[in-house]
Amino acid sequence: MAHQVRRTSARLADGREIIYFDDETETRSPRPDERPLGARAEAGEMRFDALTGEWVAVASHRQNRTFLPPPDECPLCPTGRGSVPSEVPDPAYDVVVFENRFPSFSEGAADLDSPVPEPLFATAPARGRCEVVCFTSDHSGQFAQLPPARVETVLEAWVDRTTELSRLPGVDYVFCFENRGPEIGVTLHHPHGQIYAYPYVPARSRAMLERAREHRATTGRLLGSDVLAAEVAAGSRLVLESEHWTAYAPYASRWPVEVHLVPNRAVPDLPALTAQERADFATVYPQLLRRLDRFHVAPTAVDGDATIPLPYIAGWHQAPVNVGREDWRLSMQITSILRAPGKLKYLAGSESGVGGWVTDVAPEAVAARLRELVDA
């Protein structure tokens, strides 16, 4: 039986949409947002880098976004939980999604006043949408500790938003992701993720699509499926397997800790997952995150070795909205810059300068460590 979620849409004081995804059966009557917010912020422009063929969004208004507020002023907690009204007017929620108050892309991005006279300086409105996804109302919670039913609700929110955002005019790619940990650069500690609806296919996704197209033209098969089969056959980089999902540390890992979680069945995006695959993910993914949170240990003077919550970025690589869907295979990529307790992997000269990656940890060692860390 498919997981049942109740979806309720409302508007915040500045007109931004807020959507509640509840795993309860009661009908929700959203409370009005009574904050004096004024006009909503809209995104600005994109500029084209003629040297690399990549778009760069210029979002100067994001300099003023909320930065590490005290817990009682958290804008992601339910209103009434802290000392000030938050982005969520209601006093309780399961999972909630709302348009970002400081967006990099927005539907209301203004048309440009006049074309740039220099042809090498192409520009375009940063038209798209940016959303925030709150995984839980518990400010001190974490995704790894969510019960399976709540993980399914988060997944249903990702599915819903992928479907809806893909329908927006001009949107070419939808990316659901979570940043966790101050080392990653999070500005809010409340457990949450984001969704970007881009008006173009981002550079890494475009490169992945080109490789997948080349592979299909040469072999007639999906590159993602062949990579999964090769990793299963090799075995040394496998982390865990379930009926519907497989996790492995990729052969050419770039990051000190990198794991790919992929469905065993070839699907292009999140909406294509079956009810059984979604239910299995709700168990497998938190288990993987709990292993990652025990990957690093550090000695302490009082209690002996202590685990270190892993700073990570987890993101869904979905098929582009309008091109290459027949060549794509859904996957989640989880990466961490923490190479050892107290030591970060900095993207220094080689990586930042020319994109020449050097990894600090062999993926076989990462996989072996994660295989050991089964749930107690």
Q: Give the residue numbers marked as catalytic.
A: 192
d(CA 205, CA 91): 39
- Helix H or strand E segment including 8: strand 6-11
Name the β-bridge partners of 344.
338
Residue among 44, 37, 27, 126 nearest 86 (CA)? 37
The position carrying tokens 């309860």 is 24
- Amino acid at position 174, single letter: V
d(CA 49, CA 122): 8
DSSP 252: T
The position carrying tokens 């509640």 is 20
Residue among 181, 32, 166, 171 nearest 106 (CA)? 171
Distances (CA, A) of 107 to 48, 124, 127, 169, 172: 19, 13, 5, 9, 13
Contact (CB, 8 A) for 12 and 30 = no
List all residues 6 or more positions away from 284 whose beta carbon is below 8 Å from its beta carbon. 240, 242, 244, 245, 247, 261
d(CA 192, CA 133): 5
Distances (CA, A) of 317 to 24, 66, 260, 282, 288: 30, 28, 10, 18, 18
Contact (CB, 8 A) for 183 and 338 = yes
The position carrying tokens 């869907």 is 325
* Pairing between β-strand 331-336 and β-strand 257-263 as defined by DSSP bridges: antiparallel
- Amino acid at position 201, single letter: V
